[in-house]
Structures are given as structure tokens and as C-alpha cells.
Amino acid sequence: MRYLAPSLLSANFYNLENDLNILSKKNIKYLHLDVMDGMFVPNISIGIPVISSIKKNTKDTFILDTHLMIEKPERYIDNFKDAGADILTIHREISSDYLKVIDLIKDSGLKVGVSINPETDVNKIIDAIDKVDLILVMSVHPGFGGQQFIESSLEKIAFLNDLRNKNGYNYKIEVDGGIYVENVNKVINAGADIIVSGSGVFKGNISENIDRFMETFKE
């Protein structure tokens, strides 16, 4: 089954409640939350208070798919758990020992994901694939929305899908960056399960944009 995970980074923060209500009415399951610290990536975004507020006011409407683009994420695992995050995804490229951080997240009781940037060889996460619930392939350079999809990401998705099928792994494949209705079929055909889209969902009529994605998923 394919899931659409709207990226909150592109939502209308002046009227966030309205945007979230639309997502809820459209039965969106995954809500993608980009957390940036201005160090791992050259941008700063939402953090723990926003996640806590969303969880408190939406109850269990969404799976809070929390993408940590931060250095030393191990410092904040308990904070994100207390705020209501359901999945914590860290980057392979962090300066910490990423396998140890994965174990710490698992020990906390949260689901865990690992992400790779466009320039990172997918083989660099082979030692983690039997530990994680999710693998996030970045199809743009992390830090800013609205970038163009990087086509070489399709090879990584296909590789991870083949590896999963051959070895019986249970991780989900998530893809984030430059995905719109016009190109989402390429990502789906490569083997992606969770499709992250920011401006593709929130730019224009949110409800109609979601309907277009869902119709494409059925094709």
C-alpha cells in the first residue's frame, strides 16, 4: 500500500489548524515533520513545541513521521518521544555513531528510520537495514523545499526494494524531495511505499491536490 506523507514544512503556519483539518478529512495517515537545527543543514525549522502541540490537538489522527536533520540527535530522543513523535528518522551522515543512535531510538520504544542524502552511496546503510523500520531516500539536498527531483534517487529506491524482496526485510521505503503528481509514478514504480510531498500538497487547493495523488496511486 502507498501512503502520501504531506511535509508540514510547506504548510500555512499562520493557519496550521485549518491545513491539518483538511489532511484529517482526507484520511492522511502520515504527517512528515522536518526538524532542522541550522548545523546539519543550513536552515532552521520546527521543533519539539510544534510537534507537541500537533500531537495534543490531533490525538492519534496522524503518525508523526519526524525527520531529524540535526547533529547529535541522541540528545533529544526522550524529548521527541514525550512530544508525541511516532517515528524518528536520523541521517547516515551525522557525526555521531548512527548505529548506536538507531539502537537508542529503538530502546526508547519509538520506530526508527535512517535517511541518506543524494550524494551518499546506498551501500553505506547496509549494516542498518535489519534494524530500521523505514529508509528515507532524499531525492533533493535536504534543508529547503521546492527543489527539483534528482533522478539518480530512483536507482537507490529500486535497489532497496529488490534487497527487501530478496531477503524478506520489513522496512518501508520513503522518498522525499521534488515529488509532484506529475512524477510520482516513477517513484512508485521504483518501489517506494511512503511519498513525501510539501508544495505538491500544500500549494493551491490541498484537498484537490491530495485527490490527484490518490488517483495516481491507484493507477
Q: Which of 65, 86, 176, 193 is catalytic?
A: 176
SS3 label, residue 72: coil
Q: Which of 19, 34, 65, 86 is catalytic?
A: 34
Tell me, yes or no, if 34 is annotated catalytic: yes
Tell me, yes or no, if 78 is annotated catalytic: no
The arrangement of strands across the sheet holding 172-176 comes to 3-6, 194-197, 172-176, 134-138, 111-116, 87-91, 63-69, 30-36
State the number of CA atoms in the 13 A half-sphere of 145 facing the CB.
21
From start to end of the chain, where are the E strands?
A: 3-6, 30-36, 63-69, 87-91, 111-116, 134-138, 172-176, 194-197
Residues with catalytic roles: 34, 176
